[in-house]
Copies of this chain bind each other. A is one copy, B any other.
């Protein structure tokens, strides 16, 4: 018997962003003077909000003085942050949560990957296609059976309810990569389905702060009954530029009660708490103070300004791409534009054309699953000037 987790051997070798990096660096080697505009990876470019900078300076000073030094914090996160999250992100939307239903993480990706620890390896897991690859890879590592829910252009990027019941359903709205958001009725369909079928939903709300339109739920718990079936994973990465600071949170409501094989009623909240107490030692105190600062009045206005900056990029690019006759989705309630490749080009073909002719880096849709073929993803996280420059190059080329 082998000592390794053999499931790893079934993972595809090529990680999407590694392949993009390879092609980009190959191009740069051939043209060292090139001025690439990077609209590929979903990383932010604006500075941290000043309230966060100030809060971190203060926290650092506390740590430098034995009288105010903080060692191990609670594995679940500090109450000051858990309560700020509830008071600002949930209570105003009519969602009541207890502090012990909120778990502070070192970022959404960790919890997206680790949440499977508390679920059976025999669960059948449904994910959309196209999809954020972490849902697929982390479940393959545990040997779980995957079901793809097609969310292509014909389906308006909104998957139909599954024909055979999955145990676990990953939903990400506003969606990465398509930028599509679900309205209340669309999201209610999934909550009702999970309730009727005894499925669990893992709801990735990493982009909720980018929602601009009314009627789009920011949290799945805005839908009645969701607390009994849904875990929600949230992030400060895109909301406030925390990609390098590392903080997020995961909501595991105590109302999720599952049946064990011997007929007991088990709380998923208790299992996740046990998982975190055993395999995690809390998020940096300094990062938690930075996250708390987002919820101050200044913090709210500063993060709002950053989001407005990115969404101006999104609008600009959306408008200009449409003027060029391209079919564009997303970019209204999400920082991602999902652009149909012209002239029936394939994803990688259009990606290569944009890279080699126009020196614009994007993400080929096929990298997010076969239903992403024929599309590219453009992110709005760049500098405004770079977005304008990219659109100018494209206009010149296509005219």
- B-binding residues in A (CB < 8 A): 1-6, 8-9, 11, 15, 41, 43-48, 50, 52-53, 56-57, 60-61, 63-66, 69-73, 106-107, 109-110, 112-114, 117-123, 134, 137-138, 141, 167-168, 198, 200, 241, 243-246, 258-262, 264, 266, 268, 271, 274-275, 277-287
Contact = CB atoms under 8 A, between A and B. Distances in A.
B168 A284 contact: no
Given A260-B6, A285-B245, A47 B71 contact: no
A261 B11 contact: no
Given A60-B56, A113-B278, A278-B113, A284 B118 contact: no
A171 B76 CA distance: 28
B107 A281 contact: yes
Contacts of A50: 64
A200 B5 CA distance: 14
Given A45-B66, A69-B241, A244-B71, A4 B271 contact: yes
Contact of A246 (B9, B244, B281): B281
Contacts of A47: 63-66, 69
A381 B243 CA distance: 33
Copies in the complex: 2
A245 B43 contact: no
Please indicate which of the listed interface residues A44, A243, A260, A278 has the most CB atoms of chain B within 10 Å of its own CB.
A278
Contacts of A117: 5, 141
Given A56-B60, A63-B245, A2 B258 contact: yes
Given A120-B2, A122-B1, A168-B3, A278 B69 contact: no
A284 B244 contact: yes
13 contacts: A2-B266, A5-B119, A9-B264, A48-B69, A56-B63, A107-B281, A110-B280, A113-B280, A121-B121, A134-B278, A138-B279, A244-B285, A284-B286
Contacts of A2: 120, 258-261, 266
